[in-house]
């Protein structure tokens, strides 16, 4: 592959910017919220839009029906280069609280900043449609400029990443011979270190999600007539949840820290060299004090330490006015982020026993699982990581950083376990993209330089 071909692809991307933006806007207008059944047709529409776009690029593409939302699978293997598997997701998070959006979440809006930069505001702009389109635009430019791609490319875009992703593992199994023949997975669902510094994410936390219900009396009760004598499920639940952490921020579930590694000094020093500022990380969201384990830095708290978080809690009367009631039930949703070799099944079991021990004998507690997956780290000294780092460094004229990530991308563990595939986690999101929040946005520079970066990475991997 000569560098003239890469230059032609990069020039094509630069010339095609306006049309690329219009394509992204079309995809962003489809409200593909996977968790809410009311949007199932929109999910099918987003999958169909991607299939049409991929076919237009010359891929053989199909939307495969599943128990849940369709999975888009496409191939273009008309290349002598290595086989790479690209992964992204077309589904998005719900938009509530809708009243906090400054513009309609599904009417993408281009907003110019005073410094001349700009961004697109829309649900899914950063997570993950804007990121998916960076890769498709890079492929489009290669095809337009040279007639073919530098690598054999398989594209897998799912629609349930934000809602449990139950359909994906059986799909991976069914298509294991195609998908597993790739040399590496390119996963575009993470961020840059900052707006000037591209990054390769080398670690993802795992997760365990649990819904618990504490059952007390066999009906809702008058809190005067029974109050004092009858067990209150909300109080019982709140007390148990409050015991999840001690005053040092350590999780109190027995065995919770089994398999949590001490970070090697070399990694801690590399992280220190990134110049992370807890004050600005927390200041940006209106906070000041790192709230996790006191023995670990703020960066470690989000990248390399496990957590227990209550994501929702409800019960009793929460409507207008007041109702003096002792409810029959109280509920909470709790998630754990896992690191190292922490075992999701063991964490789930120990959590359930821990909670059960805090329930009085005449009450009951029941659990519902919402999925789980282990943590994963990438072998980032392998040549493929160095090639990708070099390509990113060339695009930004700034050395690409190797970073951790507090979030979870379940497919990365499944690729490893089911297909033996390592992943290159490269994305162009920024810290202020407001993932999962109102007014999600994606910088135009993320879209444009992201596409140029993929064009370079495809060429670098083919070398
Ligand atoms: N794109 C995110 C993961 C992410 C978050 C990467 C922050 C980089 C920075 C992904 O779509 C996501 O939100 N995943 C969920 C998975 C969960 C539902 C199993 C998460 O991390 O909560
Ligand atoms: Zn995502």
Rounded Cα distance, 241 and 257, in Å: 18
Phi, psi dihedral angles at 207 (to 5 degrees): -155, 155
pLDDT of residue 165: 80
β-strand pairing of 83-89 with 184-187: parallel
**Chain position carrying tokens 């990443």:** 161
The encoded tokens of residue 183 equal: 């040399």
Around ion ligand 2, residues with a beta carbon closer than 5 Å are 127-128, 189
Ligand 1, atom 8, lies closest to the CA of 190
Please return the burial class of 9, using the count of CB atoms within 10 Å of its CB with bins 0-12, 13-18 and 19+: buried
Query: Relative to the CA of 161, which ligand 1 atom is closest?
Result: 11
DSSP secondary structure string for all residues of 28-96: HTS--BTTSGGGHHHHHHHHHHHHHHHHHTT-EEEEEP-SSS-EEEEEE--SSS-EEEEEEE--B----
Q: d(Cα 401, Cα 282) in Å, to the nearest integer?
A: 21
Pocket, ligand 1, Cβ cutoff 6 A: 127-128, 161-162, 189-191, 207, 405, 407-410, 435
- How would you list the strands of the sheet with 206-215, edge to edge? 307-315, 329-338, 206-215, 364-373
Give nearest CA residue, ligand 1 atom 16.
408
Return the pLDDT at 166. 87
Judge whether 318 and 216 are in contact, CB under 8 Å: no
Paired tokens of 91: 């589904």
- Count the neighbouring beta carbons within 10 Å of the beta carbon of residue 337: 21
Task: Indicate if the alpha-carbon torsion angle 201, 404, 343, 329 is positive or negative.
Answer: negative
For the chain, list residues with pLDDT below 50: none
Q: What is the Å distance from ligand 2's center to 191 Cα? A: 10
Is there a cis peptide before residue 128, judged by omega within 30 degrees of 0? yes
Q: Which atom of ligand 1 is nearest to the CA of 189?
A: 1
Distance 413 CA to ligand 2 centre (A): 15
Residue 1 has a pLDDT of 55
Question: In this structure, which residue's CA is closest to atom 6 in ligand 1?
Answer: 190
- In this structure, the number of other CB atoms found within 10 A of the CB of residue 120 comes to 22
Residues with Cβ within 8 Å of residue 263, at least 6 apart in sequence? 300, 304
For ligand 1, mutation pick of 131, 161, 425 (most atoms within 8 Å of CB) = 161
- CA 309-350-262 angle, 5° bins: 70
d(CA 339, CA 322): 43
What whole-number distance in Å separates Cα of residue 423 and Cα of residue 411?
Answer: 10
CB of 134 within 8 A of CB of 188?
yes
Q: Which of 68, 375, 408, 411 to mutate to test the pocket of ligand 1 (most atoms within 8 A of CB)?
A: 408
Q: Residue 299 burial (CB < 10 Å; 0-12/13-18/19+)?
A: buried
Of the listed ligands, the closest to the CA of 425 is 1
Chain centre distance of CA 432: 15
Alpha-carbon distance 366 to 356, whole Å? 9
CA atoms of 294 and 313, how far apart (whole Å): 25
pLDDT for the residue numbered 268 = 92
- Residues 6+ positions from 447 with CB-CB distance below 8 Å: 20, 21, 24, 120, 130, 133, 134, 137, 428
Residue 93 Cα to ligand 2 midpoint, Å, equals: 9
Place of tokens 């690029």: 57
C-alpha span between 122 and 82 (Å, rounded): 35
Instruction: Give the separation between CA 387 and CA 458, rounded to whole angstroms.
Output: 10
């Amino acid at each position: 592959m000569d560098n003239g071909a890469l230059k032609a692809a990069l020039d094509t991307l630069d010339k095609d910017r306006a049309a690329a933006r219009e394509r992204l806007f079309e995809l962003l207008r489809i409200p593909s919220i996977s968790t809410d059944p009311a949007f199932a047709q929109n999910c099918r529409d987003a999958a169909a839009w991607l299939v049409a776009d991929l076919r237009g690029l010359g891929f053989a593409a199909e939307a495969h029906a599943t128990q849940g939302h369709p999975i888009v699978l496409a191939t273009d293997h008309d290349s002598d280069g290595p086989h790479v598997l690209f992964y992204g997701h077309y589904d998005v998070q719900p938009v509530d609280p809708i009243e906090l959006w400054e513009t309609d979440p599904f009417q993408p809006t281009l907003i110019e900043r005073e410094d001349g930069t700009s961004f697109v505001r829309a649900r899914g702009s950063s997570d993950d449609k804007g990121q998916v389109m960076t890769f498709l635009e890079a492929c489009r430019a290669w095809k337009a400029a040279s007639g073919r791609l530098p690598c054999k490319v398989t594209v897998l875009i799912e629609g349930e990443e934000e809602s449990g992703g139950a359909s994906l593992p059986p799909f991976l199994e069914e298509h294991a011979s195609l998908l597993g023949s790739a040399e590496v997975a390119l996963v575009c669902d993470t961020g840059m270190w900052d707006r000037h510094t591209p990054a390769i994410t080398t670690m993802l936390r795992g997760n365990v999600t649990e819904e618990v219900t504490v059952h007390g009396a066999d009906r809702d009760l008058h809190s005067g007539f029974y109050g004092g004598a009858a067990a209150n499920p909300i109080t019982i639940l709140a007390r148990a949840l409050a015991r999840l952490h001690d005053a040092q921020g350590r999780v109190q579930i027995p065995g919770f820290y089994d398999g949590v590694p001490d970070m090697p000094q070399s990694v801690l020093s590399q992280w220190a060299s990134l110049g992370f500022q807890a004050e600005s990380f927390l200041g940006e969201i209106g906070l000041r004090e790192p709230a996790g384990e006191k023995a670990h830095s703020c960066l470690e708290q989000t990248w390399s330490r496990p957590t227990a978080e209550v994501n929702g809690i409800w019960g009793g009367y929460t409507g207008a006015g007041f109702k003096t009631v002792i409810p029959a039930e109280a509920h909470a949703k709790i998630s754990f982020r896992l690191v190292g070799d922490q075992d999701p099944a063991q964490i789930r079991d120990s959590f359930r026993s821990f909670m059960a021990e805090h329930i009085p004998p005449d009450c009951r507690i029941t659990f519902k699982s919402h999925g789980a997956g282990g943590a994963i780290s990438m072998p980032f000294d392998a040549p493929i990581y160095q090639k990708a780092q070099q390509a990113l460094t060339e695009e930004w004229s700034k050395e690409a950083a190797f970073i951790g990530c507090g979030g979870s991308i379940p497919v990365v563990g499944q690729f490893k376990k089911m297909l033996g595939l390592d992943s290159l986690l490269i994305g162009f999101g920024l810290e202020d993209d407001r993932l999962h929040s109102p007014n999600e946005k994606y910088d135009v520079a993320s879209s444009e330089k992201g596409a140029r970066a993929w064009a370079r990475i495809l060429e670098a991997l083919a070398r």
